[in-house]
């Protein structure tokens, strides 16, 4: 049962979502969030994120069945029925909304629910099958973590929360398109119009480089958006910016699939380190 749950809920992706909630929580208060507040907020966010992935797999069960990477997921593999997956996804979403509303506040629950609705309806149902720009617009759903964190502590969404939102919005296309390069043949076989399939690898790596620049500018820009950021963040951000831009430029020149896969994993580490430095610098 635990194995099926993990296959349905993409825990590695969810961990990254949770990592973007924490900076918002620490920045949303002048003190420190309590262990209880952190635990409940992360639990509710984890459940809502899990529900979105369950519903995603319900909707994409036929496409999953023809892709090598996804054909062993529980629904196409016949381990659970589509109707049970739909029921489970809705139930977990309601549970998450109730936990966040009762123990934290309504704004936090609404932010988390909006992420699910955007992911399921805007990205999965509407954009993903129709346009190579699907992840640019649909990726909005993955940017809401900082808003959840701020809302949990401050019950409001000030300017720095939206700068963090923008940061993740600009990070997402470069991150995801790198994976799409590595999985280009799989997406092509399933008929999903990812950029490497529709426009080729060279255009994709060019776009990755441009988005890496925009993302880097937003990371540096956070220094000016939140007065609590000091030289620790600024110096760290500059070093991390040089690293990701160098990596993206190498990928732009080579277009190599294995390098794209490495960039995908490095981008995860990069966002995690940026979030960590934000938290540390806001409290020293």
112, burial (CB in 10 Å: exposed 0-12, middle 13-18, buried 19+): buried
Range of the domain at 8: 1-155
Q: What is the pLDDT of residue 31?
A: 84
Q: What is the dihedral of CA 275, 277, 283, 284, to 10 degrees?
A: 180
pLDDT higher than 80, residue 284: no
For residues 166 and 140, membership in a common domain is answered with no
Q: What is the pLDDT of residue 273?
A: 93
When comparing pLDDT for 183 and 268, which is higher?
Answer: 268
DSSP states of 161-187 as a string?
HHHHHHHHHHHHHHHHHHHHHHTHHHH
For residues 18 and 123, membership in a common domain is answered with yes
pLDDT higher than 70, residue 190: no
Average pLDDT over residues 193-210: 88
Residue 73 DSSP symbol: S
Which of 155, 185, 217 is the last residue before a domain boundary?
Answer: 155
Average pLDDT over residues 149-163: 93
Q: What is the pLDDT of residue 263?
A: 94
Which of 155, 187, 206 is the last residue before a domain boundary?
Answer: 155
Residues 6+ apart with CB under 8 A from 187: 67, 180, 194, 196, 197
CA dist 56 → 10, 119, 138, 215, 267 (Å): 11, 8, 13, 27, 23
pTM confidence score:
0.86
- In percent, the amount of the chain with pLDDT more than 70 equals 93
Q: Indicate the angle between helix axes 35-59 and 82-103, nearest 10 degrees.
A: 160
For residues 4 and 28, membership in a common domain is answered with yes
Which of 99, 120, 155 is the last residue before a domain boundary?
Answer: 155
When comparing pLDDT for 136 and 165, which is higher?
Answer: 165
- In percent, the amount of the chain with pLDDT more than 90 equals 51
Q: Indicate the angle between helix axes 257-282 and 11-27, nearest 10 degrees.
A: 30
Per-residue pLDDT tens digits for 125-137: 776 666 666 666 7
For residues 214 and 119, membership in a common domain is answered with no
* Tokens matching residue 56: 């995603």
Q: What is the pLDDT of residue 129?
A: 64
For residues 55 and 151, membership in a common domain is answered with yes
For residues 72 and 100, membership in a common domain is answered with yes
Average pLDDT over residues 203-227: 93
For residues 147 and 20, membership in a common domain is answered with yes
Q: What is the pLDDT of residue 68?
A: 66
Domain count, the chain: 2
pLDDT higher than 70, residue 186: yes
Residues 6+ apart with CB under 8 A from 244: 212, 215, 216, 266, 267, 270
* Max Cα–Cα distance, the chain, nearest Å: 54
For residues 151 and 200, membership in a common domain is answered with no
Average pLDDT over residues 59-78: 74
For residues 85 and 149, membership in a common domain is answered with yes
Per-residue pLDDT tens digits for 34-60: 999 999 999 999 999 999 999 988 888
52, 60, 45: which is closest to 126 by C-alpha? 60
For residues 61 and 23, membership in a common domain is answered with yes
Asked if 73 contacts 56 with a C-beta cutoff of 8 angstroms, the reply is no
pLDDT higher than 80, residue 174: yes
For residues 212 and 243, membership in a common domain is answered with yes
Q: What is the pLDDT of residue 17?
A: 84
Give the integer Cα–Cα distance in Å for 231 and 218: 16
103, 187, 96, 174: which is closest to 135 by C-alpha? 174
Band the pLDDT of 171: cuts 50, 70, 90. very high
Q: What is the mean pLDDT of the chain?
A: 87
pLDDT higher than 70, residue 253: yes
For residues 211 and 92, membership in a common domain is answered with no
CATH number at residue 112: 1.10.357.140
């Amino acid at each position: 049962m635990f194995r099926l749950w993990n296959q349905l809920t993409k825990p590695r992706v969810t961990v990254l979502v949770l990592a973007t909630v924490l900076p918002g929580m620490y920045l949303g208060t002048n003190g420190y969030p309590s262990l209880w507040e952190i635990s409940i907020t992360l639990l509710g966010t984890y459940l809502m994120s899990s529900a979105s992935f369950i519903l995603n797999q319900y909707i994409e069960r036929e496409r999953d069945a023809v892709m090598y990477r996804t054909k062993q997921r529980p629904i196409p593999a016949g381990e659970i029925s589509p109707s049970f997956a739909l029921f489970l996804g809705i139930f977990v979403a309601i549970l998450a909304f109730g936990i966040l509303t009762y123990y934290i506040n309504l704004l936090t629950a609404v932010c988390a629910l909006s992420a699910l609705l955007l992911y399921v309806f805007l990205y999965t149902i509407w954009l993903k099958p129709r346009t190579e720009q699907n992840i640019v617009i649909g990726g909005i759903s993955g940017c809401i973590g900082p808003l959840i964190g701020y809302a949990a502590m401050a019950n409001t969404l000030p300017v720095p929360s939206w700068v963090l939102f923008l940061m993740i919005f600009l990070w997402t296309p470069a991150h995801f398109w790198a994976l799409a390069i590595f999985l280009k043949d799989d997406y092509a076989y399933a008929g999903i119009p990812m950029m490497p399939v529709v426009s080729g690898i060279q255009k994709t790596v060019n776009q990755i480089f441009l988005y890496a620049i925009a993302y880097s500018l937003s990371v540096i820009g956070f220094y000016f958006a939140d007065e609590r950021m000091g030289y620790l963040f600024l110096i760290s951000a500059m070093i991390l910016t040089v690293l990701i831009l160098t990596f993206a430029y190498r990928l732009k020149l080579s277009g190599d699939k294995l390098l794209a896969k490495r960039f995908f994993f490095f981008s995860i580490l990069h966002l995690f380190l940026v979030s960590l430095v934000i938290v540390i610098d806001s409290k020293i």
